[in-house]
């Protein structure tokens, strides 16, 4: 059975390479629209001359359907077609879903699934708080009976902690709602700077105006990075949901000296939004650089700067250290990019 599956997979891959995909694309549309750009006098010298193979592929590319039409036995063309269209699919996948990375207060607070678990932990937190208060008051009284000089100081600290706990528990929903509402307005302002209309088309056009077949590899790498970034965004949303659920238990532990998770919980709650906001800013700037048309054939300044901002956004959690939990996806993307580059060089 396993052997049959392997044979089937190999046959499927060969069919993708040998037989062209049916398409309504008009060959040469993209090249004809940008023909003057490729044939400018300054682009025809030996340093900037585009390869004949790249030009031939561009003549078979239609920017409306974003597909490349290849002959049955044009193996190299099919390889670049597969790489290119995979990258385009990745970009199309994340184009609209990026808007959903904004966390609305109702997505967390009024979510029936989250509320079910949070209500149970909220009820448990009252019992845990009572146990902690009795334990700490007994400990303080023991210190006073032993004539400890710091007994009143410790008692004052515990009273302050109890006051903070009561405020957080009493206003828990309101505090979380205020934090989520603030980040929603901030994230919306950042997302609105991204031109999602014809986003992929503009990015692909400007990338293909870069020299050589490496542009096809770039499309795939950028698509993978954007997918990983989107996964990181949703990872932050899942983290916020978990922090909201366990919040009541973490708050009541503030009174305990040994198992005080309140500071850790609050730090992670804030760091999740801080990391997400900075990642979105880096992503928005990177996309803006890709929207800028090259000034001449061979101008890769915006291409490299935009890619640098995407890589920065992926690695930001690890760069921020404890202020942003790292998912390890940055290392995976870098490893995958090296593999793709190595395969492309061998081709």
Q: What is the pLDDT of residues 292-314, one digit of tens each?
A: 777 766 677 788 888 889 888 88
Assigned token pair, 109: 């607070």
| DSSP label of 42 | G
User: Which residue is listed with tokens 């920065």?
Assistant: 312
Assigned token pair, 47: 């340093």
Q: Which residues in the chain show pLDDT less than 70?
A: 1-31, 34-56, 63, 65, 95-96, 140, 142-154, 194-198, 210-213, 296-298, 321-347
Share of the chain above pLDDT 90, in %: 0
Assigned token pair, 93: 């996948």
pLDDT computed for residue 343 by the predictor = 46
Maximum Cα–Cα distance across the chain: 94
pLDDT computed for residue 29 by the predictor = 66
| Helix-strand-coil split of the chain, %, nearest 5 | 75, 0, 25
| DSSP label of 294 | P
As a whole number of angstroms, the distance between CA 68 and CA 28 comes to 10
pLDDT tens string 236-288: 888 888 988 888 888 888 887 777 888 888 888 888 888 888 888 888 888 88
pLDDT computed for residue 251 by the predictor = 86
Q: What are phi and psi of 325, to 5 degrees?
A: -65, 135
As a whole number of angstroms, the distance between CA 246 and CA 234 comes to 19
pTM of the model: 0.69
């Amino acid at each position: 059975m396993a052997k049959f599956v392997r044979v089937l997979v190999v046959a499927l891959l060969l069919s993708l390479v040998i037989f062209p995909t049916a398409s309504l694309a008009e060959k040469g549309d993209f090249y004809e629209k940008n023909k003057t750009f490729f044939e400018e006098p300054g682009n025809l010298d030996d340093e900037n001359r585009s390869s004949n193979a790249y030009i031939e592929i561009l003549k078979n590319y239609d920017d409306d359907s974003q597909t490349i039409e290849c002959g049955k036995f044009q193996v190299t063309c099919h390889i670049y077609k597969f790489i290119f269209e995979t990258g385009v699919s990745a970009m199309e996948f994340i184009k609209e879903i990026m808007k959903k990375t904004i966390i609305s207060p109702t997505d967390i607070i009024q979510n029936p699934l989250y509320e079910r678990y949070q209500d149970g932990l909220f009820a448990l937190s009252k019992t845990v708080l009572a146990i902690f208060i009795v334990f700490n008051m007994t400990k303080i009284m023991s210190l006073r009976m032993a004539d400890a000089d710091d007994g009143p100081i410790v008692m004052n600290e515990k009273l302050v902690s109890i006051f903070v706990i009561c405020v957080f528990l009493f206003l828990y929903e309101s505090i979380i709602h205020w934090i989520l509402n603030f980040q929603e307005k901030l994230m919306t302002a950042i997302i609105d700077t991204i031109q999602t209309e014809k986003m992929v088309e503009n990015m692909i056009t400007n990338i293909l105006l870069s020299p050589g077949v490496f542009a096809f590899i770039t499309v795939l790498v950028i698509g993978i990075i954007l997918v990983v970034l989107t996964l990181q965004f949703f990872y932050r949303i899942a983290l916020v949901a978990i922090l909201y659920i366990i919040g009541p238990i973490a708050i009541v532990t503030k009174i305990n000296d040994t198992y005080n998770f309140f500071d850790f919980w609050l730090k992670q709650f804030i760091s999740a939004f801080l990391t997400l906001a900075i990642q979105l800013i880096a992503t928005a700037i990177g996309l803006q650089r890709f929207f800028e048309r090259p000034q001449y054939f061979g101008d890769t300044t915006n291409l490299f700067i935009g890619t640098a901002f995407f890589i920065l956004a992926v690695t930001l959690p690890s760069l921020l250290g404890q202020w942003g939990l790292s998912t390890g996806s940055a290392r995976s993307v870098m490893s995958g990019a090296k593999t793709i580059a190595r395969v492309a060089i061998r081709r």
